[in-house]
Amino acid sequence: MTNDAALSSEAVALADCLGELVARMRSAEAELGALLVEIEQRGVMELFGYRSAARLLEHLADMPKPATERLIKRARLINPGRNLDGSPIPALAPATGAAARAGRLSNPMIDVITNVLTQVPPEHCASAETNLLAFAEEAGHKQVAALGARILAHLVPDGPAPDDTEPVVPTRELFLRHKRTGVWELSGRFDDETGTRAHALLDALAERRTGDDGPDFRTTPQRYGDAFSDAVDLALNSPDLPMQAGERAHVMVAVSLEDLKSGVGKATLGDTGTMTAAEARVHACDAMIIPAVLGDKSEPLNLGRLRRLISAGLRRALFLRDRGCAFPGCHRPPRHCQGHHIRHWADGGPTDLTNLVLMCAHHHRLLHRSGWEVRIAADGLPEFLPPTFIDRRRKPRRNNLHEPLPFTA
């Protein structure tokens, strides 16, 4: 065998090996996407305590946020889903999903095909997908994109319909409705000045969160919804808030002692609303509400103060020690935080500095519903132990983002 023949044979073998590895890599990523879609449908919050599958993947795989978002968005298009009532939702591109799981398609190719199919009329989706996949067997994704453009020019010659939405006339009106489902709907119209001030306030509170629980994958409406909740808390804490019947504005929550300890059951919120006992347990740590704990016969056992158990002096000590939310990687300042009992007061935990930690509302809830744990270390500072599915060793983590005091005790 000549040298040229030997080199050619070696190149073919290496190319075959490379092609096999690429196919396996593509297949594994497609299977990963299908698994994440299944986790979403089962409930990532219920299974892992995380807001989204993308946040979970970022933490488990150490992937950047844009990559996890692209992977899951792609997976939703090529895998079937389910409605809230359990009825199936067919995949937009089922044949593309099968080819992806077989390792035959690159990610750019999948994106080109699904982008075309999202614009094609539903009755032509199957035939368009068949033509695109057939061409994909012998062409690259740029050529398939050109074919997709020709298909769209034929099937949708006029393009998308123009947006004829009329601009909203700004006024100063606000509507707050309590629906039978327990959800509150907020809508309103404001003049330019009020809208600008509200936007500046919510923009400041709606910054993406940071922390060791992973990046923030909330949508813009979700971030603004959470920012509005934070703005309400800040307003309720203001000493300049007008009085109502001789008292500062407050909300009463009634819950049985048994439900409060177990976190299972319902609590009465205000006059007619409800919340879960688990949420009441979160608020009972350091509530913006007044918790009323009831016995077996609904008799009041304990009526909390507006700042449940945690005194103003103790709160100042928490501010000085933790400097903000103590959860690793969180930048929230003290005014956005709540005091959390490490050993819950309903379980006999004391209300002193060795049993308290400052946390923002988001990480406070995450701590209550996920596998994260917090403890006070030997040096008197809080440290957090991640759940085993994030770190099997559960190595303690601390927040090093807040500026320490300019002096030592």
| Confidence at residue 73, expressed as pLDDT on a 0 to 100 scale | 95
Find all residues with CB under 8 Å of 100, minimum gap 6, and list them: 26, 27, 30, 78, 110
Q: With the CA atoms of 269, 273, 277 and 278 taken in that order, what torsion angle do they form, in degrees rounded to the nearest 10?
A: -100
pLDDT tens sequence across 95-113: 999 999 999 999 999 999 9
| Confidence at residue 306, expressed as pLDDT on a 0 to 100 scale | 38
| Confidence at residue 297, expressed as pLDDT on a 0 to 100 scale | 47
CA atoms of 400 and 241, how far apart (whole Å): 34
| Confidence at residue 207, expressed as pLDDT on a 0 to 100 scale | 79
Q: Are 340 and 355 in contact (CB under 8 A)?
A: no
Work out the pLDDT band at 168, boundaries 50, 70, 90.
very low
More confident residue, 306 or 51: 51
Q: Does pLDDT of 212 surpass 80?
A: no
pLDDT tens sequence across 281-331: 555 554 444 444 445 444 444 444 333 457 777 888 888 889 889 998 888
CA atoms of 345 and 261, how far apart (whole Å): 9
Q: Which of 304, 371, 367 is closest to 341 using CA atoms?
A: 367
pLDDT tens sequence across 60-72: 898 998 899 999 9
More confident residue, 202 or 145: 145
| Confidence at residue 262, expressed as pLDDT on a 0 to 100 scale | 57
pTM over 0.85: no
Q: What is the largest CA-CA distance in the chain?
A: 101
Tokens 């996949």 belong to: 133
Structure tokens, 406: 């300019």
| Confidence at residue 138, expressed as pLDDT on a 0 to 100 scale | 87
| Confidence at residue 38, expressed as pLDDT on a 0 to 100 scale | 93
